[in-house]
Amino acid sequence: MHFGPAARAAVDAMMGFYDRTTGRWESERPWWQSGNALQALLDYMLRSGDTEYLWVLDHTVEIQRKSYMDGEFRSDSTDDTAWWALAMVRAYDLTGQGRYLQIARTGCEWIGQYWDSTCGGGVWWDVPQRTYKNAISNELYLKLLASLHNRIPGAIDELERALETWRWFDASGMLNDEWLVNDGLKDCVNNGGETWTYNQGVILGALIELHRATGDDSLLAVARRIATATTTSAYLSPAGILTEPSEKVGADPDAPSFKGIFVRNLDELDRYLPDRPYQSYLACQADSLLANAGDGEHRYGIHWAGPFDKADTARQASAVDLLTAVL
């Protein structure tokens, strides 16, 4: 585990952005990125067995579950609610405490209220406006449904909705001819939007959970195609190093979280497949991060090929995701 000390140091650095008073990690997008930072921390604890920061879980949850709308992580966008719900699934995996699954299930049911027949199905991204059906909200919803089914005995409705969501997503056209996922729909067809790395990632984790539930090997075949397309893309992995499309301009405060989400889900796929086809790719990313992307204080920027640009919660949580993936 030669990446172990680096992973722990990166976690310590990420906790430097944590505010005990607010119960979240401070950033330009503090709420949803705190949900992902919590997920990164939980993944690290589950993988490493190092639970020194376990106190952060309940401290964060009890404050943040009351932050928006009617509580329980409801937000003005379905994806923000889903990030927290999936973190609660991981909290259950780490602790075995069913109350986290109930929080996740509450979030999932809330998201499901925003499924309708427009474009043949799918959940809306923005609520209550309902102006956009996109990839990330539906990928997250799919992963959450299947994850709950796989962990809650008798959760048949979740499996049926997961299968319906996958059938809709597969038919939506958002997965393009290059086996990459565009951002969403316009007039119910692929809008040709950016192929953000997180859209290539969450679908991998979703298809794994759905395969666990069904044993349908065609799901893994699709996951492999998407993962291979991303890891070999001259656009998303130039010279073999994962690169977010907006890195060159650096203006999008959401995007620094995306690569961490991708490698988190790629790692889930890699460990699920017997031949571990993406293990060397992940190790290459980690080697490049440590050699080129740091500031000398275990903080890492957005450019995993270098140079270091700046440190913040989103960048650091992505680094923790990556270093956890190679433990």
Whether 59 has a pLDDT exceeding 80, the answer reads: yes
Backbone angles phi, psi at 77, to 5 degrees: -145, 140
Residue 307 CB neighbour total at 10 angstroms = 10
For position 92, what pLDDT does the model report?
Answer: 98
CATH number for region 4-325: 1.50.10.20
What residues does each domain of the chain span? 4-325
Whether 1 has a pLDDT exceeding 90, the answer reads: no
Whether 186 has a pLDDT exceeding 70, the answer reads: yes
Query: Could you tell me the two tokens for 186?
Result: 């316009």
Q: How many CA atoms lie within 13 A of 264 on its CB side?
A: 30
From 20-24, 66-70, 153-157, 299-303, the region with the lowest mean pLDDT: 66-70
Query: Across residues 81-103, what is the average pLDDT?
Result: 97
Q: How confident is the model at residue 74 (pLDDT cuts 50, 70, 90)?
A: confident
236 and 230 Cβ atoms separated by less than 8 Å: yes
Q: Which of 4, 13, 32 is nearest to 254 (CA)?
A: 32
Q: How confident is the model at residue 246 (pLDDT cuts 50, 70, 90)?
A: confident
pLDDT in tens, 13-29: 999 999 999 999 999 99
